[in-house]
Amino acid sequence: MKAPPTAEPRWATRLLHWLCPPHRAEELEGDLEELFRQRVGEVGLRKARWRYVRDVLSLLRPSLMKRDEYSKPATTTMIRNYLKIAFRNLAKNRVYSFINMFGLASGMAVAMLIGLWMYDELSFNKQFKHYDRLAKLWQFVKFDVEKASYDVLPIPLAQELRSKYPDFESVGLSVSRNVILAAGERKLLKMGNYIEPDVIDMLSLNVVSGTRFGNTDINSILLSQSLAGALFGTGDPLNKLIRLDNKQTVKVAGVYQDFPANNTFSDVTFLVPWAFFAANDDGAKRDKDEWDSNSYQIFAQLKPGADVGQVSAKIRDIRMKRDNPPGYKPEFFLHPMSKWHLYADFKDGVNIGGLITFVWLFGSIGVIVLLLACINFMNLSTARSEKRAKEVGIRKSIGSLRSQLVAQFFSESLLMAVLAFVLSILFVQLTLPFFNQVSEKQMSIPWGNPLFWLAGLGFSLLTGLIAGSYPALYLSSFQPIKVLKGMMRTNRSATIPRRVLVGFQFTVSVTLIIGTIIVFRQIEHAKDRPVGYSRSGLIEIGMNAPELYRHYTALRHDLLNTGAVAGMSESSNSITEQAGGTTDISWKGKKTDTKPLVMSNYVTHDFGQTVGWQLKEGRDFSRDFTTDSSAMILNEALVKLMGIRHPVGEIVRQGGRDYKVIGVIKDMVKEDPFKPVNPSFFAVNYRNVNTINIRLSPKASSHEALANVEQVFKRYSPDAPFDYKFVDDTYARKFGTEERIGRLAGGFAILAILISCLGLFGLASYMAEQRTKEIGIRKILGASVFNVWGLLSREFVILVAIAFCLAAPLAYYVLSDWLQNYQYRTELSWWIFVLAGLGAMGVTLLTISFQAIKAALMDPVKSLRSE
């Protein structure tokens, strides 16, 4: 609708209202309208309108546009008032505010640390460009009843997939090796991969200098930045020559950025073309067309839209459809990169998860610990309720609505949550190095990531809302008449929610304590397991240098002559690993329809004496018997599988040869210490060995003995670095996952207990405050300090006892299920539960004693003066 012809310009009026405070705009508009009508009669409508605009513009000055306190929106003023009152309450109750903030910050810090750890685990391998289309070939093989899973496959399978299955965009072979790299005087033993060109593209390799393998040159190598720096310092490594195992020479074609720590290939320090490996490795030459030699890895990239499950179904029976299918019935399948790290466990042909269990477990612990901290906030806030009851009563009596009071208390909790978040950032920054060490991670706070701060703000607001919900609703429900008349008395039913919350805290805490004890008991139980040999003073050295193969006898003679070595031998694999197995083995009475997997170990004559294995029956290998080249020693597990009570003297046929059993040894734990030992045999073979085993003499110190051993090795292989491993250290690393879980769970259990103690402190404060006059009367009537302490402690003891009764069966159920994952496991002894309960009870009494004794020592005259 158009303005009447005598009206002032409406747009100028709207501009005035938009820029000026409301109360000033109305006043100015009235004056301008009156002046406008007067001018219309004097100078006419046109000039009056122009002068109206001029006057409006002249009034738009900062002094007139400034909004005073009364002109601000009501919401802004209210929020400022809420925050002002919140700050005053924090300053007035410094001790409780600090306890509240410290407890909340501790819970938030724990949740944040666990969140960083979970993010690191869940983002594993996501640095690759085609992460969602990358996969690794695996196979299920059937030995007897259960299917086993392996990620090693035959070489011909790669070409079969490339040529006959269009679902694959690319397929590449790979094999990992520990190699001595020599550049000038610098020699390092490092792990790297021999790969086909397609694998480089799959790995999204970031080449920072040079090219990938120098185009078509197979005698080339790619180095990680860290390895290039270790070999060449600050010099340019491109086109420099490197000797591999003192055999072949390759040229540096390029340098790539190290793979990040949360990456499957984080320990890969160099890459060499597969063609180089195929041309120089005897095993690769032999296995080129061999379908039953499973020693290599195959990576694949699917075409867009291809389904992993459907492609796996297509390739499953490739080997079984060919001529002469093997008896172990291999089934090939694709394991997508998204599951490599967290879903790596298989049982009888089914993926049963893996580390993902611990991701969700610790995620749940993080939520629970934060919830415990929020419960503390609720308890400590409501424990101070009577201190603010009159404030609530006065504000309600002068017209405050309950919704306004709820908003007030929520604003206080939100302020506390934001301050606690800032404090938790400090806690995380201080504890992160230790947390990284315990969890074996390289995490850091993403300071420059806006999503982190956005998530942190949302996290703080959510925590504040959760923590402040009960206090806000509880405090705002006070009736002003009763409060102001002094009739405000809290009955016992009002304390029930707080008792429930504290009971929940201690139920969780006791469960975590029991769980932590069981985890460490399981680790110690496996560590105490007899391993069948002596680890003390035993070291292993990889035989990377060819000179060591050719001079075994002389090397052993010189080592023994040093006096620093008590024994020396060679073996086909490490004492703490099992690398080879066979189904081509038979004995008298063996069922023809069974093909069990038996692990094969090839050793030199002195192996048993060096490692100190324990003979149960028969004799050890000896050079005094020339027939020992066709002799075999069995472990207990294989004897049990054979079903022969006394196998010494029996004939075992393996690989087309007959072997005579000369002895039986106790089971040697070479693989997972939590699982049964696999059936295994040992035979003498001086060619199929790659590990040197040395028993250091107990008469010399380890430092002196190793120095003497190194001198001997340098005489035979001067170009190879002296790289050794203590067997007891290698064996101890087998417990790494369980120990990390135990340390993390133990740390979280301690924090949960501390946070729960803060909750007890809050409830004890509340109880002492509520019963001040009762205590005064009791003391006047003759009650001692001990009587008062017992009176206040009894309720908490009952509370913790109830929590224990709830926690014990819960912990038993969860831990029984967890222990089922280990075939060699500890028992759930009753004393563990009793110890956890007594510990929780002791901590409870120590926590509440401070408030109880303080209340008991209070002068009764002061508490009764107002009566």
**pLDDT, tens only, 545-571:** 667 777 888 989 999 999 899 999 999
How confident is the model over 742-789, as pLDDT tens digits?
888 788 878 888 887 777 776 777 677 667 777 778 777 777 878 878
Average of per-residue pLDDT across 42-61: 80
Task: Please state, in angstroms and as integers, the Cα–Cα distance from residue 160 to each residue in 154, 166, 300, 315, 451, following that order.
Answer: 11, 11, 12, 10, 46
Quick check: 70 pLDDT over 70? no
Task: Please state, in angstroms and as integers, the Cα–Cα distance from residue 480 to each residue in 381, 390, 408, 471, following that order.
Answer: 19, 8, 17, 17
How do beta strands 220-224 and 248-256 pair? Answer: parallel
List phi, psi (to 5°) of 724. -125, 160
* Non-local CB neighbours of 319 within 8 Å, separated by 6+ positions: 157, 291, 325, 326, 330, 332
Closest CA to 828 of 844, 811, 840: 811
Identify the DSSP state of 2: P
Quick check: 19 pLDDT over 90? no
Count CB-CB contacts under 10 A for residue 352.
12
pLDDT at 71: 46
pLDDT at 278: 92
Quick check: 495 pLDDT over 70? no
pLDDT at 828: 87
The CA distance from 578 to 281, in Å, is: 22
pLDDT at 415: 81
Spatial contact of 620 and 631, defined as CB atoms under 8 Å apart: no
Identify the DSSP state of 824: S
Spatial contact of 424 and 109, defined as CB atoms under 8 Å apart: yes
95 versus 596: which is more confidently predicted? 596
Is the overall model pTM greater than 0.75, yes or no?
A: yes
Q: Dig out the tokens for 865 from the structure.
A: 């003066």
The CA distance from 407 to 476, in Å, is: 10
67 versus 746: which is more confidently predicted? 746
pLDDT at 573: 87
E strands of 670-730, at which residues? 680-684, 691-696, 724-726
pLDDT at 861: 65
Identify the DSSP state of 734: G
134 versus 77: which is more confidently predicted? 134
Spatial contact of 209 and 288, defined as CB atoms under 8 Å apart: no
31 versus 262: which is more confidently predicted? 262
Closest CA to 736 of 358, 264, 428, 346: 358
| Beta bridge partners of residue 635, listed in sequence order | 665
Quick check: 729 pLDDT over 60? yes
pLDDT at 1: 42
How confident is the model over 781-833, as pLDDT tens digits?
777 878 878 877 887 888 888 888 999 999 999 888 888 877 788 888 888 89
pLDDT at 189: 87
Average of per-residue pLDDT across 400-411: 76
How confident is the model over 513-542, as pLDDT tens digits?
888 888 888 888 888 888 999 998 999 988
The CA distance from 195 to 176, in Å, is: 9
Quick check: 723 pLDDT over 90? no
Quick check: 639 pLDDT over 90? yes
pLDDT at 228: 94
Average of per-residue pLDDT across 150-154: 91
Average of per-residue pLDDT across 627-655: 92
Listed range (91-105, 374-388, 736-750) with the worst mean pLDDT: 374-388
Highest mean pLDDT among 468-477, 794-803, 850-859: 794-803
Q: What's the chain's average pLDDT? A: 84
Q: How confident is the model at residue 396 (pLDDT cuts 50, 70, 90)?
A: confident
Listed range (573-582, 601-610, 753-762) with the worst mean pLDDT: 753-762
Quick check: 354 pLDDT over 90? no
Average of per-residue pLDDT across 134-150: 86
pLDDT at 64: 58
Q: How confident is the model at residue 268 (pLDDT cuts 50, 70, 90)?
A: very high
Average of per-residue pLDDT across 828-854: 83
Quick check: 126 pLDDT over 80? yes
How do beta strands 207-210 and 248-256 pair? Answer: antiparallel
pLDDT at 673: 87
75 versus 593: which is more confidently predicted? 593
Three-state SS string across 344-405, please? CEEECCEEEECCHHHHHHHHHHHHHHHHHHHHHHHHHHHHCHHHHHHHHHHHHHCCCCHHHH
* Non-local CB neighbours of 731 within 8 Å, separated by 6+ positions: 531, 535, 576, 673
Quick check: 492 pLDDT over 60? no
Highest mean pLDDT among 353-367, 556-570, 833-847: 556-570
How confident is the model over 644-673, as pLDDT tens digits?
989 999 999 998 899 999 999 999 998 888
Exposed (0-12), middle (13-18) or buried (19+): which is 719, by Cβ within 10 Å? middle
How confident is the model over 327-352, as pLDDT tens digits?
788 999 999 999 999 998 888 888 88
pLDDT at 459: 81
pLDDT at 385: 60
411 versus 173: which is more confidently predicted? 173
Count CB-CB contacts under 10 A for residue 322.
12
Percent of the chain with pLDDT over 90: 29
Q: Which residue has the tokens 């195959």?
A: 298
pLDDT at 133: 94
Percent of the chain with pLDDT over 70: 89
How confident is the model over 219-241, as pLDDT tens digits?
999 999 999 999 998 889 999 99
pLDDT at 442: 86
